[in-house]
Amino acid sequence: MEDLVNKVKSAYIHIPFCNTICSYCDFCKVYYKTNLIDSYLDNLSKEIDEYYKGEILDTIYIGGGTPSCLSIDKLNRLFNIIDKLKRSNNLEFTFECNPEDINEELLKLLKSWEINRLSIGVESFNKDILKILNRRYDIDISSKIDMCKKYFDNINIDLMYAIPSENLDILNNDIDAFIKLDVPHISTYSLIINKNTVMYNNHYKNIDDELDYEMYKLIIDKLSKYNYHHYEISNFSKIGYESKHNLTYWNNKYYYGFGVGASGYIDNIRYDNTRSITKYISGCYRLDSNKLSYNEEIENAFILGFRKIDGIDINDFKNRYGFNPKNIDIVKKLVKQNKLDVNEYNIKINNDYIYTSNDILCEFLAINYEIEKNENK
Ligand SMILES: C[S@@+](CC[C@H](N)C(=O)[O-])C[C@H]1O[C@@H](n2cnc3c(N)ncnc32)[C@H](O)[C@@H]1O
Ligand code: SF4
């Protein structure tokens, strides 16, 4: 049982190249430079050869950066490299695209390499917002999505909100426009202004917390009216279109991370790859790795699991960690306070507390789970 639970079934592959750099972006990315691509792909191939143990994967996710900015030639090289990853029959194979890169030739190529899910960074329809984000505002998103639908039905679009100067009317129009695109998955992101970004350096400030909360509520209200099932704090889908790959993370399951800046989690070890492209292409892939203690593993299981609106599967948890999470003191206390809901199968954060779930999650960090395990077997 344990072996089945722990086997690696997912891989994330990072392509760091971008044609332009967005004002808020703290991801591991570099400007597209033709002469870097081949050595990057050579090293990606070497990294996979060095670490991949031949497991059959259920999900592969190619993210970035902007994977879609590679030429057709380089994409063929990339897919030839990734071809050595073994796949199950029901593989979810996602590819991230920026709208401006979408064209028939790209979509046909992705289809021919068995990509079956697209994730597209739409972000907003509002020109002023897109200008602040330093993203293209001259793209006809609706016709791009129509083109994608000719080849793929499983499509995610990203929506960013809580951008400085944004108000509820702007967001409301954005949500309407997103709903109109009629795709089965929407990921939402409240803007984080990280250090070392153009936004931070230009002294942009976050909108106030109250407005952020109103925006979050508006998103949930509107999307649920259109049958988007709110299945994770920030993710919404039509039934059956939940992201299997991201559920790997939230279910605290193992996954490979390949490429510069990628992270992975295998055999209780969390590792981060270097964020330096120079180091990566000189063959130094790993930055650090850290074997998690039993306590850290359980903390992650709670913190990640509670991101899902249905929360933690009790049986799954019991099989994996050796005790019933329902029986531990902190869970009992939070159930009494109505902050957690519990039934025979799941423990979840009460919907009224989802927005402030961080306070609840902190309570799971100060516990000795070895003791809990012994007392609650
Ligand atoms: C992994 S990123 C990169 C994907 C792709 N390059 C793009 O820009 O669409 C995926 C999403 O994270 C979100 N994101 C990135 N940086 C963010 C930030 N600082 N705050 C909030 N959301 C962010 C954006 O919505 C973006 O589409
Ligand atoms: S947000 Fe996406 S496209 Fe923009 S710089 Fe970051 S990775 Fe590149």
pLDDT in tens, 187-212: 999 999 999 999 999 999 999 999 99
Report pLDDT for 372. 79
Residue 363 pLDDT > 80? yes
Q: In which band, very low, low, confident or very high, does the pLDDT at 3 lie, cut at 50, 70 and 90?
A: low
Q: What is the DSSP letter of 318?
A: H
Ligand nearest the Cα atom of residue 97: 1
**Distance of alpha carbon 6 from alpha carbon 251, whole angstroms:** 11
Q: In which band, very low, low, confident or very high, does the pLDDT at 366 lie, cut at 50, 70 and 90?
A: confident
Q: In which band, very low, low, confident or very high, does the pLDDT at 215 lie, cut at 50, 70 and 90?
A: very high
Residue 377 pLDDT > 70? no
| Ligand 1 midpoint to CA 247 (Å) | 18
Report pLDDT for 250. 98
Q: Which residues have C-beta atoms less than 6 Å from ligand 1?
A: 24-27, 63-66, 96, 98, 121, 123, 158, 160, 189, 191-192, 194
Tell which residue, 13, 3, 10, has the closest CA to residue 285: 13
Residue 259 Cβ < 6 Å to ligand 2? no
| Ligand 2 midpoint to CA 196 (Å) | 14
| Ligand 2 midpoint to CA 351 (Å) | 32
Residue nearest (by alpha carbon) to ligand 2 atom 7 = 65
Report pLDDT for 376. 73
Q: pLDDT tens, 310-319?
A: 999 999 999 9
Residue 322 pLDDT > 70? yes
| Ligand 1 midpoint to CA 18 (Å) | 12
Q: Around 376, how many Cα atoms within 13 Å sit in the side-chain half-sphere? A: 20
* Least trusted range by pLDDT, from 47-51, 160-164, 257-261, 323-327: 323-327
pLDDT, mean over the chain: 95
Report pLDDT for 6. 60
Q: pLDDT tens, 233-257?
A: 999 999 999 999 999 999 999 999 9
Ligand 1 closest atom vs CA 24: 19
Residue 14 pLDDT > 60? yes
Q: pLDDT tens, 167-193?
A: 999 999 999 999 999 999 999 999 999
Report pLDDT for 2. 46
**Distance of alpha carbon 57 from alpha carbon 276, whole angstroms:** 28
- What domains sit in the chain, N to C, each tagged with a CATH number? 2-250 (3.20.20.70), 312-377 (no CATH)
Counting residues of the chain whose pLDDT is more than 70, the rounded percentage is 98
Average pLDDT over residues 32-58: 96
Q: In which band, very low, low, confident or very high, does the pLDDT at 1 lie, cut at 50, 70 and 90?
A: very low
| Ligand 2 midpoint to CA 11 (Å) | 20
Tell which residue, 159, 216, 208, 207, has the closest CA to residue 183: 159
Average pLDDT over residues 121-145: 97
**Distance of alpha carbon 122 from alpha carbon 105, whole angstroms:** 20
Q: What is the CA angle 282-264-56, rounded to 5? A: 105
State how beta strands 86-97 and 56-64 pair. parallel
Residue 274 pLDDT > 80? yes
Q: In which band, very low, low, confident or very high, does the pLDDT at 5 lie, cut at 50, 70 and 90?
A: low
Let me know: does 254 contact 8? Beta carbons within 8 Å: yes
Report pLDDT for 375. 79
Tell which residue, 268, 369, 354, 294, has the closest CA to residue 324: 369
